[in-house]
Amino acid sequence: MSDDDARDASGHDSDGAERDRLEKNVSAIKDDITHLAQQIGDAVNTLAGLAQKRAKRRYKDARANVDSAVSGASDRADALSDAAQNAAASLGETLEDLVQERPLATLGVALGLGFLLGLTWRR
């Protein structure tokens, strides 16, 4: 019976050693999974930061483009306004010169235009 007891004891010892080795392996795998999860979390946070920076840069670029377009449109509107004022001033001067040089012809043109406007408004 001592041989059987020795076999049982050695079998239990090898089972215990095997169990300890499996527990160590499971613990190591758990540690590896925890480490991988942390690395994945860090990578996701890094990607999120990069995406946020890129979005901010594109927003700033778009805003600068809009500001530039508005500024350009404002400059063109100012230039057109100046041109219209110059044209109106020039037309006024031309009419003054025309009235001084040919007062009767100017009076006739003005009466004719008034008559035509009166006819169109009457209808």
Could you please report the per-residue DSSP string of 72-122?
A: HHHHHHHHHHHHHHHHHHHHHHHHHHHHHH-HHHHHHHHHHHHHHHHHHHH
Q: Count of residues for the chain? A: 123
Whole-number pLDDT of residue 10 = 55
**pLDDT tens, 92-117?**
888 888 888 888 888 888 888 889 98
Whole-number pLDDT of residue 1 = 47
Q: Is residue 45 part of a domain?
A: yes
Q: How many domains does the chain have?
A: 1
Q: In this structure, which amino acid lies at residue 85?
A: Q
Close Cβ partners of 22 (under 8 Å, ≥ 6 residues apart):
none
The whole domain housing 78 covers: 2-98
Which residues in the chain come in under a pLDDT of 50? 1, 6
Burial of 78 (0-12, 13-18, 19+ CB in 10 A): exposed
Q: pTM higher than 0.75, yes or no? A: no
Number of H helices, E strands in the chain: 2, 0
